[in-house]
């Protein structure tokens, strides 16, 4: 933990012990460097936004945290478990929603959630109540016995979210979790994440392209660009770093990722 | 109808066929252009004609000798065209993943149903036209040689109509099966059974189409039952050519016009079905509350953990709900049917030894296929397993059970059937079941070792669960392993006295040695698989 640069280290890390420590990881695909020397941490009860343009390395970083990819350099610890050495223990603590959830579409929603409950060892008595709560809260009740192949994109996203939350994970890794959700469901999820963080001390690593959402719910933000951390801190700190006091996160983001002046692009597109 | 739009849409649909084979397909390669089928047709047509002409000149055969060949073969071109497209197209529909079999985009693009159906039919007809083009080219050479140019022109034209007729029929199957495929519950299960039956029928039809004895009988039958078949529209093209060859031009033109009219009717019906069943994702809603519970008592009793049992149950659901798994599941039935078609009963000279070896091979080969496809059929949803706290050996055990259980079930069913139908005796039938089970276990392990290393997780129209070269290697070596186990075991089974015991011990020793080796190889493969997500 101590080797993390202060800007990317959670302020509460020292006191509470972090849930997630990503330290100097790098990952390449052939000649393409997807992630280069990325470090950050997530403290209990903290929602950390991971932002960046397309291809910045967000999904690669998240997959590495899950142990789905192995960084060539660096280490990742989830509640003290080294993901490379003790991946199973780390995965037990994580709830994950991938960018494009691939579900088993030949199962019904209920069967899928039963399946995931078995994978995480959730006993029958516990799962019943939790699944019903989530289905009702996200307005999926009544659809659970239909095949997932017949679900809309938003319904699939809801199933993916429920399956990530069922086993009471202490760390949530959510890659674009609000994709396809209707406004009510999106609001429920945002409030739920905030509640889980403040009441249960769940840590959340949250990736999104919707900067208003990031600004509204994230405690801190890490901005990646071309595989590197270009800025990290609270929205206020990022404003200060970009020299844009009083601006919205969108302006700050564009300035920090070097994509600020879009006038020429818009003019060209209008032709 | 906008024919330009039809052409553009057909072009796109053919491109999706051409480029679906490989994820590394270079879209700029000439081989990956939609025109490849068209150029291929022309090449085969003129190539067949040229080669046929050269061969005829070289052989200097008298035209009188070849005349009957032309008169016998050319009339069947239109019928063969219908059959080729129908069998190829329906086989594709039955085996394609639902995602690719669907054609939702055409529903929201500004395309009229008849335009879509015509474009899709043209694409299907073009895809399966290559063998017809080759045959037409070769027959054209012979026909011109014997002075029957007009006959082959008519036959060729009506073969084109036949290709379209077959394609329109495929479109009908596509529309109706998409609708049926989107249902669950009882209707869904009925649909699956019907699909399985359709697949068995299609495979048997393929066997028959390429069976010379059957074809010869059909040629004779058509002459005898001509009065009946004249009322069957798919035969009208053939009757037009037959009438022309008999010098009856007006009847020939009548049948030809009727054949074209029939194609028009098929287009109309296919379009109506498309309009009626446009939706591919009609969800069925039921409002009874689902009872959530950890179940799988049988699998748990076998010693599987809840997670392993859940994976096995999930795979079983996949077997019976995924359309692309059907060809694998009907395999034991098809292999048994082939035994009957080819008459491999002990009394036919195939012998009890042959029957036992062949049927043992059929059921254990089933285990090999299920195992080799078991990892790749997860597709990208394998992310769920990678992200869950499941160690590699757990996935290995679950996949082994998911492959071996159906193979052993097939062994028992086939063993009982062979015992009853071929009267081989109880001892031989029981021995057949035991050796099939051992061979099935051996090759399931072997298949899993390949699956863990070489699976293909890409979404494709025709699912390819294992990369092609490893699939061939796994199949070839797997068949060899089956024979290594089954042949000495069968020899022992059919022997008496000490030879039987020695043979049984030898077969068991060979089988268990391979099990020990394959177990380690497969398990290491799964540990390697879990190192990093493969996509």
How far, in whole angstroms, is CA B215 from its chain's centroid? 21
CA distance B445 to chain A (A): 23
A94-97/A171-175 β-pairing: parallel
Low-confidence winner among A186-200, B81-95, B246-260, B489-503 (lowest mean pLDDT): B81-95
pLDDT for position B350: 64
B419 pLDDT exceeds 90? no
pLDDT band at B345 (very low <50, low <70, confident <90, very high): low
Tens-place pLDDT, residues A145-157? 888 888 888 999 9
Size of the A and B interface in Cβ pairs below 8 Å: 130
Distances from the Cα of B526 to the Cα of A218, B64, B274, B451, B532, angstroms: 38, 67, 44, 9, 11
- The answer to whether B284 contacts A146, with C-beta atoms less than 8 Å apart, is yes
**Rounded to a whole number, what is the distance in Å from the CA of A107 to chain B's nearest CA?**
7
Whether B440 is in a domain gets the answer: yes
State the Cα angle at B183 between B104 and A165, rounded to 5°: 85
Nearest to A107 among B296, B314, B386 (CB): B314
- The set of residues, in sequence order, having a beta carbon less than 8 Å from that of B143 and lying 6+ positions away, is B70, B74, B149, B151, B152
**Nearest 5°: phi and psi at A162?**
-60, -45
| Cα A90 to Cα B532: distance, rounded to the nearest angstrom | 15
The yes-or-no verdict on residue B340 having pLDDT over 70 is no
Residue that wins the pLDDT comparison between A238 and B192: A238
Whether the pLDDT of residue A71 is over 80: the answer is: yes
Distance (Å) from the alpha carbon of A100 to chain B's nearest alpha carbon: 10
- Looking at the partner chain, which of A98, A111, A149 has a beta carbon nearest the beta carbon of B383? A98
- Going by their DSSP bridges, the two strands A203-207 and A171-175 should be labelled as parallel
At A15-70, the pLDDT tens digits run: 458 999 999 999 998 888 899 999 999 999 999 999 999 889 998 999 999 888 88
Residues B492 and B394 in one domain: yes
Contacts of A81 in chain B (CB under 8 A): none
Distance CA B366, CA B444 (A): 9
Please answer whether residues B127 and B37 qualify as being in contact, where contact means their C-beta atoms are separated by less than 8 angstroms.
yes
Q: Does B101 touch chain A (CB under 8 A)?
A: no
**Is the CB of A70 less than 8 angstroms away from the CB of B386?**
no
* Nearest-by-Cβ selection for B283 from A94, A100, A146: A146
Distance CA B406, CA B444 (A): 11
pLDDT in tens, A80-129: 999 988 888 899 999 999 888 888 887 888 888 988 898 888 888 888 88
Number of neighbours of residue A14 by Cβ within 10 angstroms: 12
Q: Do B256 and B160 meet the contact criterion of CB atoms below 8 Å apart? A: no
At the second CATH level, the architecture of A6-93+169-234 is 3-Layer(aba) Sandwich (3.40)
pLDDT digit string, tens, across residues B423-482: 788 888 898 899 999 999 999 999 999 999 999 887 766 667 888 889 999 999 998 999
How far from the centroid of its chain's Cα atoms is residue B289's Cα?
Answer: 39
Range name among A108-112, B418-422, B514-518 with the lowest pLDDT average: B418-422
Residue A30 C-alpha, separation from nearest chain B C-alpha, in angstroms: 13
Interface test with A, best of B287, B325, B388, B527 (most A CBs within 10 A): B388
| pLDDT surpassing 80 at residue A206 | yes
Helix (H, G, I), strand (E, B) or coil at A36: strand
* Closest C-alpha among A235, A265, A267 to residue A251: A235
Structure confidence at residue B395 (pLDDT)? 94
**Final residue belonging to a domain, choices B276, B310, B336:** B276
The confidence score (pLDDT) of residue B417 equals 84
CA torsion sign for B486, B492, B495, B496 is negative
For residue A122, the chain B residue with the least C-alpha distance is B294
Residue B363 to residue B410: CA distance in whole angstroms? 6
Cβ distance B317 to A106 less than 8 Å, yes or no, reads: yes
pLDDT computed for residue B79 by the predictor: 86
Model ipTM over 0.85: no
> What is the number of structural domains in chain B?
2
B220 touching chain A per CB within 8 A: no
Q: Any CB–CB contact under 8 A between A29 and chain B?
A: no
Residue A120 has its nearest CB partner, among B285, B321, B389, at B389
Q: What is the mean pLDDT of chain B?
A: 80
**A81 and B CB contact within 8 Å:** no
Other CB atoms within a 10 A radius of the CB of residue A44 amount to 20
> From the candidates A69, A86, A95, A150, which should be mutated to test the interface with B, based on the most B CB atoms within 10 A?
A150
User: A136 at the B interface (CB within 8 A)?
Assistant: no
CB of A161 within 8 Å of a chain B CB? The answer is no
- For chain B, first and last CA: distance in Å? 43
Residue A96, strand partner residues: A173
- Write out residues 272-301 of B within 8 Å (CB-CB) of A: 281-294, 296
Rounded to the nearest angstrom, the minimum Cα separation between B321 and chain A is 6
B372 and B521 together in one domain: yes
Chain B hits for A110, CB-CB cut-off 8 Å, are 290, 292
Chain B CB contacts of A146 below 8 Å: 184, 283-286
| Minimum distance, in Å, between the CA of residue B383 and any CA atom of chain A | 7
| Chain B neighbors of A92, CB-CB under 8 A | 389
Q: Closest to A144 (Cβ–Cβ): which among B98, B290, B313?
A: B290
Sort out which chain B residues have CB atoms less than 8 A from A107's CB and list them.
314, 317, 321
- pLDDT tens string A228-264: 999 999 988 888 888 887 777 888 888 888 766 677 7
On whether any CB of chain B is under 8 Å from the CB of A170, the answer is: no
Sign of CA dihedral B359, B360, B363, B365: negative
Contact assignment for B385 to A119 by CB distance below 8 Å: yes
Mean pLDDT on B120-138: 89
Q: What's the CA gap between A157 and A174, in Å, rounded?
A: 11
Distance from CA of A89 to the nearest CA of B (A): 7
Residue in A88, A51, A262 with CA at minimum distance from that of residue A176:
A51
Instruction: Give tens-digit pLDDT for B277-326.
Output: 654 433 344 444 555 555 677 888 888 998 999 999 999 888 877 777 77
A131 vs B contacts (CB less than 8 Å): 292
Shared-domain flag, residues B178 and B320: no
The answer to whether A144 faces chain B, any CB pair under 8 Å, is: yes
Specify whether B45 is located in the same domain as B167.
Answer: yes
Judging contacts by C-beta atoms under 8 Å, the chain A residues touching residue B290 are 108, 110, 144-145
Interface of B with A in 310-339 (CB under 8 A): 310-311, 313-314, 317-318, 321-322
Does residue B269 sit in the same domain as residue B379?
Answer: no
- Sole residue written with tokens 């039935």: B333
Domain assignment present for B152: yes
Q: Domains of chain A: which residue ranges?
A: 6-93+169-234, 103-166
Mean pLDDT along residues B338-360: 69
Q: Which chain B residues contact residue A116 at CB under 8 A?
A: 384, 388
| Domain enclosing residue B331, as ranges | 301-529
């Amino acid at each position: 933990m101590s080797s993390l640069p202060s800007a990317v280290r959670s302020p509460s890390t020292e006191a509470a012990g972090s849930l997630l420590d990503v330290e100097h990881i790098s990952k390449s695909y052939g000649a393409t460097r997807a992630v280069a020397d990325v470090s950050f941490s997530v403290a209990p009860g903290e929602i950390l936004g991971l932002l960046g343009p397309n291809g910045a390395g967000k999904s690669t970083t998240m997959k590495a945290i899950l142990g789905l990819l192995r960084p060539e350099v660096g280490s990742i610890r989830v509640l003290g478990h080294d993901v490379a050495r003790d991946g199973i223990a780390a995965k037990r603590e994580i709830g994950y929603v991938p960018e494009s959830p691939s579900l088993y579409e030949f199962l019904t929603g209920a069967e899928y959630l039963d399946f995931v409950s078995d994978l995480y060892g959730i006993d029958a008595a516990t799962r019943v109540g939790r699944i019903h709560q989530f289905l009702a809260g996200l307005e999926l009740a009544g659809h659970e016995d239909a095949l997932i192949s017949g679900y809309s994109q938003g319904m699939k996203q809801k199933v993916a979210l429920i399956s990530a939350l069922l086993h009471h994970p202490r760390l949530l890794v959510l890659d674009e979790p609000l994709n396809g959700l209707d406004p009510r469901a999106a609001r429920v999820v945002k409030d739920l994440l905030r509640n889980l963080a403040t009441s249960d001390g769940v840590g959340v690593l949250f990736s999104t392209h919707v900067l208003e959402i990031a600004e509204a719910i994230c405690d801190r933000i890490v901005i990646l660009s071309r595989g590197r951390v270009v800025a990290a801190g609270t929205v206020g700190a990022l404003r200060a770093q970009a020299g844009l006091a009083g601006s919205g996160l969108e302006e700050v983001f564009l300035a920090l990722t070097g994509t600020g002046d879009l006038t020429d692009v818009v003019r060209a597109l209008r032709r | 109808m906008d024919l330009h739009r039809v052409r553009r849409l057909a072009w796109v649909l053919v491109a999706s066929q051409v480029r679906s084979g490989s994820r590394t397909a270079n879209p700029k390669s000439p081989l990956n252009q939609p025109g490849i089928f068209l150029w291929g047709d022309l090449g085969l047509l003129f190539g067949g004609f040229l080669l046929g002409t050269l061969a005829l000149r070289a052989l200097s055969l008298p035209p009188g000798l070849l005349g009957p060949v032309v008169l016998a073969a050319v009339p069947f071109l239109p019928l063969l065209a219908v059959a080729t497209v129908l069998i190829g197209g329906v086989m594709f529909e039955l085996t394609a993943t639902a995602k690719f079999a669907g054609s939702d985009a055409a529903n929201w693009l500004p395309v009229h149903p008849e335009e879509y159906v015509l474009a899709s039919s043209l694409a299907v007809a073009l895809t399966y036209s290559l063998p017809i083009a080759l045959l037409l080219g070769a027959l054209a050479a012979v026909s011109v040689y014997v002075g029957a140019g007009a006959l082959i022109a008519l036959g060729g034209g009506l073969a084109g109509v036949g290709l379209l007729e077959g394609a329109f029929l495929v479109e009908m199957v596509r529309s109706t099966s998409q609708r049926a495929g989107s249902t669950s519950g009882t209707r869904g299960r009925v649909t699956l059974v019907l699909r399985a039956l359709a697949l068995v029928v299609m495979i048997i039809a393929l066997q028959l189409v390429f069976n010379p004895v059957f074809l010869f009988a059909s040629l004779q039958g058509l002459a005898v039952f001509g009065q009946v078949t004249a009322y069957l529209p798919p035969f009208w093209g053939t009757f037009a050519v037959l009438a022309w060859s008999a010098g009856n031009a007006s009847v020939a033109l009548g049948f030809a016009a009727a054949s074209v009219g029939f194609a028009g009717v098929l287009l109309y019906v296919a379009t109506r079905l498309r309009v009626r069943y446009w939706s591919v994702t009609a969800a069925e809603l039921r409002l009874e509350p689902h009872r959530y519970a950890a179940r799988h008592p049988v699998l748990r009793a076998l010693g599987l953990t809840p997670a392993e049992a859940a994976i096995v149950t999930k795979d079983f659901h996949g077997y019976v709900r995924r359309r692309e798994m059907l060809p694998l599941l009907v395999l034991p039935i098809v292999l048994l049917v082939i035994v009957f078609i080819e008459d491999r009963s002990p009394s036919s000279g195939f012998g009890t030894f042959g029957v036992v070896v062949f049927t043992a091979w059929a059921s254990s080969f089933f285990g090999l296929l299920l195992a080799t496809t078991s990892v790749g059929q997860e597709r990208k949803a394998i992310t769920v397993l990678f992200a869950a706290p499941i160690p590699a050996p757990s996935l290995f055990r679950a996949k082994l059970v998911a492959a071996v259980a159906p193979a052993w079930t097939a062994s028992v069913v086939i063993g009982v059937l062979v015992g009853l139908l071929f009267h081989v005796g109880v001892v031989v039938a029981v021995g057949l079941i035991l050796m099939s089970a051992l061979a099935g276990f051996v090759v399931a392990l072997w298949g899993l070792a390949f699956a863990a290393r070489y699976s293909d997780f890409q979404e494709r129209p025709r699912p390819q669960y294992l990369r092609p070269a490893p699939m061939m290697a796994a199949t070839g070596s797997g068949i060899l392993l089956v024979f290594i186990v089954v042949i000495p075991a069968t020899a022992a089974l059919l022997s008496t006295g000490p030879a039987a015991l020695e043979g049984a011990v030898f077969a068991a020793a060979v089988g268990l040695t391979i099990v020990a080796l394959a177990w380690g190889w497969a398990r290491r493969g799964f540990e390697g698989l879990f190192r990093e997500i493969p996509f």
